[in-house]
Amino acid sequence: MKTLKTWIFKQDKDNCIELLVDGRFNFCLYVLEEQMFRVLIKRNNILSLDRTWSIAPNQDTPLEGRDRLSTEGFSLPKYELLEKDNKLIITTRQLRVTIEQPLSLKWEYKNECGDWQLLVEDRSTSAYLINPHGDGIAHYQRRYKDEHYYGLGEKAGDLNRAGRRFEMRNLDSMGYNAKDTDPLYKHIPFTITHRNEVSFGLFYDNLSSCWIDLGTEHDNYHLSYRRYQAEAGDIDFYFFLGPKIIDVTKSFIKLTGKTFFGPKWSLGYSGSTMFYTDAPNAQEQMQNFIDLCKEHGIPCDSFQLSSGYTSINGKRYVFNWNYDKFPDPKAFTKSYHEAGLKIAANIKPCLLQDHPKYKEAAENGLFIKDSESDNPERSMFWDDEGSNLDLTNPATFNWWKNNVTKQLLEVGIDSTWNDNNEFEVWDGEARCNGFGKEIAIKHIRPVMPLLMCRASMEAQQSYNPDIRPYLISRSGCAGIQRYVQTWSGDNRTSWQTLRYNIRMGLGMSLSGLYNVGHDVGGFSGDKPEPELFVRWVQNGIMHPRFTIHSWNDDHTVNEPWMYPEVTPIIRDTICFRYQLLPYFYNLLWQAHHNDEPMLRPTFLDHEHDVNTFKETDDFMIGKDLLVASIVELGQREREVYLPENNTGWYCYHSHQWFSGKQSITLPAPLESFPLLVRAGAIIPISKRMAYVNHQLDDYREFKVFPAKGVHSTKGSFFEDDGETYDYQKGKGLWIDWNLTSENQRIDLHIQARGEYQPAWDEINISLPKGELRSLFINGHPINKISLKSIK
């Protein structure tokens, strides 16, 4: 690759400063926001790919992609451009970049004192490399010893990515090692860099396979550096100032699109296993699941139907019902609906070469084409070769929507589980329709699962336009959060996986994927032994997605009742999740409405406490609950570090109060796990339910955990029917609260707005055991209040 060196100033127009580098490369620097710039380099003023599907400041892109040169949706602030000493300096009120000769950039920010401080600078020796005759790009920045790196999606290993190298090349990584395996399923080349109490984000909007080195590589001829390298495409990155880590993550969401607001039932327990649908009597097995949930008192809201329902002679064929296994699919779905359960059906975007619909699809040109002919490309898929559907072909997109509708939704399936959608097409020149403008697959492979999910969502929205859709996807690129809930893929059963899945979930959350979880109990390998299974369920209920799923090597099934000796613990744990559903649902609303992460590393709200940056198995769910999962065999007590928060923490179970900035040891009997609440918080809870039903959800309690001494906090809760768009018409319920603690009394002021009338008509207020201060609600010494009185 060629190093870009000498530049001349070309023009300043429409918030874009353009340089000509080495006579043939166009360097464009866009000033998009006060705290966000963009750098784009074109060969001969031509883009390798003229569209993007990740950048969505207006919430979504056109189906055919957003014009890569568009600045629509950005505020385009005023800036100062100064040419001095053969340098260009571009300055907004908060961010400054200096372009030097030979081509390199130095980024600075204005601190609270008004002084300009260094954020990062490019490597002064060979910062930008491009193959002028074909594929290959690289970008090098300086690396500093005290930097922490976060993000990159679901990567294995520790949350701090420093000192490691990663690859983005979506793979079906079944049975991966949660500590070491790389690459995995998703493509999110986005990093958060934290140093000297300030953070910045860097997102490379390039969909080709790439490598990001954060400290493994060393070269004698250069100072320490970090590297981004891609096999194809253009250098095109967004640089944005935090200054806090939470600000970087929220800015990334604003850049790539909001989290979809799914139905409330999607937060309930979802059963799943490959075993049921692989069995010859699959429909009977599925009915048994309903019966056993009732028998054991296990709440459940949905089942994720594995691909065995599509099988022919052991292989899997999307949009094909095996009527030997499922003699009456409509009766099957009806029985689930009568029990209060929804069904998400597994679908795959590759048709095996002997698929009943393969010939039809090939004749209509629905597949990605081979690089050297108009024949469908052929790739390995499951037990055979097959061809991947080209979702950039409008005919394919509509064919997919039609099959989702006819084969699933009209049969009674409620949602889609978009799986095995890594699109492992390794002929980089294989050709995609590109919505009428042909594109090589190497440029857009990770966007295929995003378009697959969009087609599935549009089918669900068209079929039932009044109901908010729910979708799941394993693979995707930045922006996938606009459509789906996701998870960490086909993990392998072990205590190590339980521990490192926590870090993987936090990494996804910092990378804009808020609605996430893991296969509880482990998907592949040995079945979990009883203690591991209990601890995994305890961890799983504290994640947005709570699904027990398995394909165990010994053909056993991970089910809540798989070990009778611990079934009561499993039942109580899942019931506890249902008590907390109002809290989780409010988190989902906050994720969608305010771009707040649901899963949060402890440092996210406590950057001032340096101890929170240590690698830990602890995490926050929302801002108020601190989860200390048990991830070691035989552990019956747990040391927990309590971040400094000025108010302290309560043990959720015992109600004992602790001050922050200290480590404490809490009991962890098998039937429980340490859970702490931020003092000053209110946790809304409901009664135990068999499944989510807003008409039966007739109890609401606010568990108030007041601060000691004099302190005030405030917050809000959201409620609605949990499934429609009526809240957009005002038929939601927004409850605003203000909690003031003094030495002698506690005052809680509550106000409600919105037209939604829940099944409950009063709010019960509870205080921690041993709390002696008097409680006043809206000025009255009471412990419950009617909803009518606060509207």
pLDDT tens profile 726-735:
999 999 999 9
The mean pLDDT value for 591-607 works out to: 98
pLDDT tens figures, 362-397: 999 999 999 999 999 999 998 899 999 999 999 999
Q: Which residue, chain included where needed, has tokens 């309930």?
A: 268
Joined together, the tokens standing for residue 682 give 């209110």
Is 197 found in the same domain as 99? Answer: yes
What is the Cα–Cα distance from 331 to 86, expressed in whole angstroms? 75
What is the Cα–Cα distance from 534 to 55, expressed in whole angstroms? 41
Q: 251: which residues sit within 8 A by CB, 6+ positions away? A: 35, 36, 201, 240, 242
pLDDT tens figures, 58-114: 889 999 999 999 999 999 999 999 999 999 999 999 999 999 999 999 999 999 999
Task: Assign residue 203 the CATH number of its domain.
Answer: 2.60.40.1760
Say if residues 636 and 674 touch (Cβ distance below 8 Å).
Answer: no
Is 360 found in the same domain as 287? Answer: yes
The mean pLDDT value for 143-171 works out to: 97
pLDDT tens figures, 705-750: 999 999 999 999 999 999 999 999 999 999 999 999 999 999 999 9
Is 406 found in the same domain as 343? Answer: yes
The mean pLDDT value for 646-653 works out to: 97
Joined together, the tokens standing for residue 91 give 């300055």
Residue 418: which of 453, 388, 457 has the closest Cα? 453
Task: Assign residue 396 the CATH number of its domain.
Answer: 3.20.20.80
Domain contains 771: yes
Domain contains 357: yes
Give yes or no for residue 340 having a pLDDT over 90.
Answer: yes
Q: Tell me which of 678, 711, 726 is where a domain ends.
A: 678
Domain contains 95: yes
Q: Which amino acid is at 321?
A: W
Q: Tell me which of 610, 643, 678 is where a domain ends.
A: 678
Q: Which amino acid is at 665?
A: T
pLDDT tier for residue 128 given thresholds of 50, 70 and 90: very high
What is the Cα–Cα distance from 14 to 17, expressed in whole angstroms? 8
List phi, psi (to 5°) of 120. Answer: -165, 160
Report DSSP letters for 345-394, one per residue. Answer: EEE-SEEETT-TTHHHHHHTT-BPBPSSSSSBP-EEETTEEEEEB-TTSH
Is 343 found in the same domain as 466? Answer: yes
The phi-psi region of residue 692 (left if phi > 0; otherwise alpha if psi is between -120 and 50; otherwise beta) is beta
Domain contains 594: no
Is 274 found in the same domain as 136? Answer: no
Is 288 found in the same domain as 349? Answer: yes
The mean pLDDT value for 572-583 works out to: 98
Is 422 found in the same domain as 524? Answer: yes
Q: Report pLDDT for 191.
A: 98
pLDDT tens figures, 208-258: 999 999 999 999 999 999 999 999 999 999 999 999 999 999 999 999 999
CA angle centred on 259, ends 410 and 269, rounded to 5°: 60
Give yes or no for residue 176 having a pLDDT over 90.
Answer: yes
Domain contains 294: yes
Domain contains 610: yes
pLDDT tens figures, 471-495: 999 999 999 999 999 999 999 999 9
pLDDT tier for residue 134 given thresholds of 50, 70 and 90: confident
Is 632 found in the same domain as 492? Answer: no
pLDDT tier for residue 133 given thresholds of 50, 70 and 90: confident
Is 614 found in the same domain as 560? Answer: no
Say if residues 78 and 93 touch (Cβ distance below 8 Å).
Answer: no
Q: Tell me which of 647, 678, 709 is where a domain ends.
A: 678
What is the Cα–Cα distance from 722 to 717, expressed in whole angstroms? 13
CA distances from 148 to 141, 586, 700 (A): 14, 31, 42
Containing 577, the helix (H) or strand (E) segment is: helix 567-579
Say if residues 599 and 503 touch (Cβ distance below 8 Å).
Answer: no
* % of residues, the chain, pLDDT over 70: 100
DSSP alpha helices (H): ranges in 221-278? 245-256, 274-278
Domain contains 148: yes
Burial class (CB in 10 A: 0-12, 13-18, 19+), 486: buried
Is 418 found in the same domain as 552? Answer: yes
Q: Report pLDDT for 383.
A: 84
Is 136 found in the same domain as 84? Answer: yes
Host domain of residue 18: 2-152+188-241
Task: Assign residue 621 the CATH number of its domain.
Answer: 2.60.40.1180
Averaged pLDDT score across all residues of the chain: 97
Q: Which residue, chain included where needed, has tokens 């396979």?
A: 209
What is the Cα–Cα distance from 473 to 452, expressed in whole angstroms? 9
Of 405-409, 428-432, 551-555, 633-637, which gets the smallest average pLDDT?
A: 551-555
Question: E strands along 143-197, which residues?
Answer: 148-151, 165-168, 186-187, 190-195
Domain contains 685: no
Q: 2: which residues sit within 8 A by CB, 6+ positions away? A: 22, 129, 130, 131, 132
Report DSSP letters for 249-264, one per residue. Answer: HHHHHHHH-PPP---G
Is 670 found in the same domain as 702? Answer: no
Q: Report pLDDT for 132.
A: 85
Give yes or no for residue 599 having a pLDDT over 90.
Answer: yes
pLDDT tier for residue 21 given thresholds of 50, 70 and 90: very high
Q: Which amino acid is at 510?
A: L
The mean pLDDT value for 1-14 works out to: 96
Give yes or no for residue 588 having a pLDDT over 90.
Answer: yes
The count of domains in the chain is 4
What is the Cα–Cα distance from 469 to 462, expressed in whole angstroms? 10
The mean pLDDT value for 550-554 works out to: 94
Say if residues 728 and 721 touch (Cβ distance below 8 Å).
Answer: no
Q: Report pLDDT for 244.
A: 98
Say if residues 708 and 648 touch (Cβ distance below 8 Å).
Answer: yes
CA distances from 540 to 115, 411, 419, 543, 630 (A): 45, 31, 21, 5, 11
Q: Report pLDDT for 662.
A: 98
Burial class (CB in 10 A: 0-12, 13-18, 19+), 363: exposed
pTM: 0.97
Joined together, the tokens standing for residue 79 give 């800036």
Q: Report pLDDT for 177.
A: 98
